Structure 1
Amino acid sequence: MDQPSAQDTAASPAAAIETRGLTKRYRGGQLAVSSLDLRVPRGSVFGFLGPNGSGKTTTIRMLMGLIEASSGGARVLGEPMPRAARTVLPKVGALIEGPALYGFLSGRDNLARFDAADPTADPRSRARRIDAALDRVGLTAAAGKKARAYSLGMKQRLGLASALLQPRELLILDEPTNGLDPQGMREIRTLVRELAEDGTTVFLSSHLLDEIEQVCTHAAVMAQGRLITQGTVAELVAASRGRLAVTTPDPAEAVRILKEHGVTDLVVQDERITGELPSVEAGPPEEPPQGAEGPLDLAELNAALVHGGVRVRSFGTERASLEDVFVSLTGEGFDVAG
């Protein structure tokens, strides 16, 4: 009997998406995705985070069976892809690389075409499904307008409506807020939350940290085709220490003392100083003060400032964000809000 391939290995029943060693290398040797081990829990809003060109869309196209993986395997809703595409895809709504619309048809007629192409869709209830999808994305008033007259944001909404024509176990959205104004972005975020509350697993790729942090329960960070980390958003943020922030009318003396205690990357803006606390593993450049609990004892650091004559008006650490996580993991900057 043949040995099972990586694609056929048992998937976790709690995973909506699971990949093992998923790799895509294009002709000419370009490595787009490298040995990706990804796990998306059922019922989560999962943020697939990375800058443009990090391999997010290529991964999604492999998950949907639109392109073939070079090696490794993927399961979607517990089934191997692309082999089980006919079983899996009717349970999945997807918006990938923007919607493919017929410009000469109205928004409503575009949805009718999409619905008619679904072999599981009952034509008798088509009109009701289309009305509900249009209403859910705020396009009822523009339903009769030709799609070529739609703005980019309206086209994005119509594409999302096409993915919502049927109840879905899994919704895959590739940069769903592209082209939307701030109000439209808020509406899509609200819609994603509502879908998750209804039990739909939402897999949302984005290069916007703010978007992921506001709406997602879990996230994975991609960079240059490789998975950097994954987990709950709370876990990822907790793994990145916030920066120290001190407010004082004595910034020069405060900087001197902070440097002596191992604080690095110090930035001074008027009376406000921020800096990177020393890691526990590295330890301070000198022995910690007597009675300190360890090299990151903030109370001792504050006491050192006061003992050195620094008038401290505020002292503490700023909450880490996904931006902090990404920069600490990759050393790269990131697009926070678009």
Structure 2
Amino acid sequence: MAGIDLEVPAGSIFGFLGPNGSGKTTTIRMLLGLIAPTSGTVELLGQAMPNAQLAVLPRVGALVEGPAFYPFWTGQANLLRFDAADRTADPRTRKQRAGEALERVGLSNAAKKKVRAYSLGMRQRLAIAVALMQRRELLVLDEPTNGLDPQGTREVRSLIRELADDGTTIFTSTHLLAEVEQLCTHAAVMSRGQLLRQSTMAELRSELRPRLVVRTPDLERAEQTLAALGVRDLRRPSGHPADDRDGVPAVEGDPGELPIDKLAAALVTADVRLHGFGLERPSLEESFVALTGEGFDVAE
């Protein structure tokens, strides 16, 4: 790990993104004081960790590396046990807070069911309920939708949005680009132990310059014509969606400020057969892959 300085605005949903093995969980463990850095310092909520654990951690809820519960106890019993281990928790309100937390994550009807009968999605929600037994300024969620089916994923996303709307700052790590695109207001990109980029999602989207995409069987003639007009960075993208009817290949490039109508007219004049022509904005996936040189899981 080297030179990581994360700026997480209060009230944001901050996506900590990177391929598996990029250092996300290690960073989270250091932030929470679960492991100590070999060099440098770690601060959480403005205080040094792990020295300030007793002051900082009661303000933070966390789910790290998947939930672990007593399988033969009920969901409610697990919550009560975890809360009893918290020296800052008020035992007089324990049952009331457990009921409220279970209701918050949609598990009221499963409160008396043994955890061994819970689905993975239910266990993820129960883990978030543990973090919600007390009011938290910051909620740290490590891969909160990992292994969930689409319905479970939607439920956890909805819960995270509700928590953020109520003023809780959410810090969530993921290797799924869809999570960041659909959920987060801010993002940071990790790769091989280094922080490559952090910004708002709006800034990331605004930087994606549209590229000219031409689908034609006359690739060489198209490339020569476009190059002569000043189109830069011409290339034939591998895996580009081809025309479903006849598999026509594509060439793409950066047109800069060149008028697109003049580019089309020049290609027609050069007898380039056009099966497809237009500007396409790169996806966030392409932007992140360009940063890391590695692929991301983009499916649910």
TM-score w.r.t. length of structure 2: 0.87
Please report how far the alpha carbon of residue 154 of structure 1 lies from its aligned counterpart in structure 2 after TM superposition.
Answer: 1.8
**1:277 counterpart residue number:** 253
Structure 2 letter corresponding to 1:202: I
**1:257 counterpart residue number:** 222
For these two proteins, the number of residue pairs brought into alignment is: 289
Structure 2 letter corresponding to 1:88: V
Name the one with the larger strand percent: 1
Whole-angstrom CA distance in 2 between matches of 1:254 and 1:317: 17
**2:283 counterpart residue number:** 321
8 Å Cα contact 1:237/1:325 also seen in 2: no
After the TM superposition, which residues 15-94 of structure 1 pair with which residues of structure 2 at under 5 Å, given as runs? 33-94=1-62
* Alpha carbons of structure 1 residues 276 and 94: separation in structure 2 relative to 1, 3 Å: farther
**1:160 counterpart residue number:** 128
Q: Are 1:125 and 2:86 an aligned pair?
A: no
Please report how far the alpha carbon of residue 274 of structure 1 lies from its aligned counterpart in structure 2 after TM superposition.
Answer: 4.6
Residue 155 of structure 1 aligns to a residue whose secondary structure is helix
**2:270 counterpart residue number:** 308
Please report how far the alpha carbon of residue 297 of structure 1 lies from its aligned counterpart in structure 2 after TM superposition.
Answer: 5.0
Whole-angstrom CA distance in 2 between matches of 1:334 and 1:233: 17
Q: Are 1:185 and 2:153 an aligned pair?
A: yes
Residue 231 of structure 1 aligns to a residue whose secondary structure is strand
8 Å Cα contact 1:50/1:222 also seen in 2: yes
Name stretches of at least 5 consecutive residues in structure 1 with no aligned partner: 1-32, 281-292
Residue 252 of structure 1 aligns to a residue whose secondary structure is coil
Please report how far the alpha carbon of residue 47 of structure 1 lies from its aligned counterpart in structure 2 after TM superposition.
Answer: 0.4
RMSD of aligned Cα (Å): 2.3
* Alpha carbons of structure 1 residues 64 and 259: separation in structure 2 relative to 1, 3 Å: farther
* Alpha carbons of structure 1 residues 275 and 69: separation in structure 2 relative to 1, 3 Å: farther
After the TM superposition, which residues 166-245 of structure 1 pair with which residues of structure 2 at under 5 Å, given as runs? 166-245=134-213
Whole-angstrom CA distance in 1 between matches of 2:270 and 2:112: 72
Whole-angstrom CA distance in 1 between matches of 2:115 and 2:138: 26
Residue 81 of structure 2 aligns to a residue whose secondary structure is helix
Report 1 or 2 for greater relative contact order, CA contacts < 8 Å, sequence distance ≥ 6: 2
TM-score w.r.t. length of structure 1: 0.78
**1:112 counterpart residue number:** 80
Q: In percent, how many aligned pairs have the same letter?
A: 59
* Alpha carbons of structure 1 residues 82 and 259: separation in structure 2 relative to 1, 3 Å: farther
Q: Over residues 12-38 of structure 1, what are the superposed CA-to-partner deviations in whole Å (9 max), with x where a residue is unaligned? A: xxxxxxxxxxxxxxxxxxxxx222222
Whole-angstrom CA distance in 1 between matches of 2:261 and 2:42: 49
Q: Over residues 113-139 of structure 1, what are the superposed CA-to-partner deviations in whole Å (9 max), with x where a residue is unaligned? A: 111222222222222211121122222
Whole-angstrom CA distance in 1 between matches of 2:278 and 2:105: 43
Residue 36 of structure 1 aligns to a residue whose secondary structure is coil
* Alpha carbons of structure 1 residues 245 and 278: separation in structure 2 relative to 1, 3 Å: closer
Q: Over residues 276-326 of structure 1, what are the superposed CA-to-partner deviations in whole Å (9 max), with x where a residue is unaligned? A: 42486xxxxxxxxxxxx5xx6544433322332446576333233321111
Structure 2 letter corresponding to 1:256: R
* Alpha carbons of structure 1 residues 271 and 148: separation in structure 2 relative to 1, 3 Å: closer
**2:64 counterpart residue number:** 96
